[in-house]
Amino acid sequence: MLSVPSFLLRKLYVKGSLQNTPKGISFRLRNSLGSGYAEQMSPLTLDGREIPLEDTSFFVDSEPRSFDTVSKDSPFCLLLNQDTVITVEHVSLSPEPHKVGMGFKVPGLGMLRFDFIDQPLTGDQPEAD
């Protein structure tokens, strides 16, 4: 089975997009690697702590979809050169850098994982749609 190195997957994260929102936190992914999809999501981690799948969402046509709804029949799609907003409810970030980890199961590749470290944006930032 092929493997995708985490340093390549880390390029999905849009540096500087990590921020607090009124309901939790958000960040963006931008896929410049090639269109793909996942049939299962792993719990997101924040500073080593797992976040329940139902508290993590991504947006499809401006509608949130929880990570726990991802399946073979309803995949998590990352289209080429398009941003995907990830939101996490019930958490907030202090001003210092934080480590966020993500994982997903891709057909033919298996479970892929990556993480990134970034400092949240400060000041009045618009909430991700």
Task: Tally helices (H) and strands (E) across the chain.
Answer: 1, 12
Rounded to two decimals, what is the model's pTM? 0.88
Q: How many other C-beta atoms lie within 10 A of the C-beta of residue 125? A: 13
Q: What is the pLDDT of residue 28?
A: 96
Fold (topology level) of 6-116:
Immunoglobulin-like (2.60.40)
- pLDDT tens per residue across span 6-56: 888 999 999 999 999 999 999 999 988 888 899 999 999 999 999 999 999
- Band of pLDDT at residue 62, cut at 50, 70 and 90: confident
- Domain residue spans in the chain? 6-116
Average pLDDT for 108-112: 91
